[in-house]
Amino acid sequence: MPRTKVKVIVTRRLPEPVETRMSELFDVELNSSDTPMTLDQLAEAAGRCDVLVPTVTDKIDGRVLARAGDRLRLIAQFGAGVDNIDVQSAVSRGITVTNTPGVLTEDTADMAMALILAVPRRIVDGVQTMQAGAFTGWTPTWMLGRRIYGKRLGIIGMGRIGQAVARRAKAFGLQIHYHNRKPVRSQTAEALEATYWDSLDQMLSRMDIVSIHCPHTPATYHLLNARRLKLMKRDAYIVNTARGEVIDEAAMVRALEAGELGGAALDVFENEPAVNPRLRALSNVVLLPHMSSATLEGRIDMGEKVIINIKTFIDGHKPPDRVIPAML
């Protein structure tokens, strides 16, 4: 595929250095308005380009792919997750799918650790008190939170990000526990002093804090459902920087309202960008606007991966970050 003839369409604004480099290398069409595309617009774009560069908020389902025609050869996702793309349908149509794994690990782990601290230590409550001018002086019983040191942290999904969170949490004196499809390497477990739980139910019932780091797949949809949420301690906290669909959000809200959970810190939501107003009304919840990976360095690194995937594909080789259905 000659590079000069390759048409690339990018669905959202990307950092300026990334857009500049793409413009130098490809016949690229950028979304200068940064307005999310509708399904019809995505299908129209897919039908007149060789390479589509979507983001995790673009739904590239079978309907879009069916209308794309025969020109589209590569979907170079700007993001690590690919649950927004019907990868099986794409591959069956001869379309290669790539993503940008690995570059957001440390940024996401930083934010997860911040959220692990935020709710038990009531950091947001303290900030709001100061901003409102309501601080009248220190007293022994005011603004009491819960100690982090020595508590049990249960990590769901011990991949790159889960392990990065474990390293940070261990430094804070948390006891590391995890549930994964299989145990991590023995050297990793020893370094983190991490305990593996084959049973998610048993782990949940014993943890003080649960942090989610697994992808959204059919197998993980509502992994934390109403039954499993009831297994957790009444003073336990949930942290989610992965995907909102992993938690039954309505069941979690009911548990929080009923005092059956200690609190939650969420960067992702089941029906993004919509956020359940009952969540916003809770005082023991910290909500962020899907910003765990939002660093300039991380976004530029993502863009560089997209460019490498496109260039490798154009040159007739398998892109380094190719996604195949068996990996999902």
Q: Which residues are catalytic?
A: 243, 272, 290
Distance CA 77, CA 58 (A): 10
Phi, psi of 9 (to 5 degrees): -115, 125
Cβ(206)–Cβ(235) under 8 Å? no
- Mapping DSSP to helix (H, G, I), strand (E, B) and coil, where does residue 113 land? helix
Q: What token pair was written down for 200?
A: 């998610």
Distance CA 221, CA 328 (A): 13
Q: From the centroid of its chain, how far is CA 174? A: 23
Across-strand partners of 211? 155, 239
CA angle (230 as vertex; 228, 233 as ends), nearest 5: 110
Judge if the upstream peptide bond of residue 289 is cis by omega within 30 degrees of 0. no
How much of the chain is in helix, strand and coil states, percent to nearest 5? 40, 15, 45
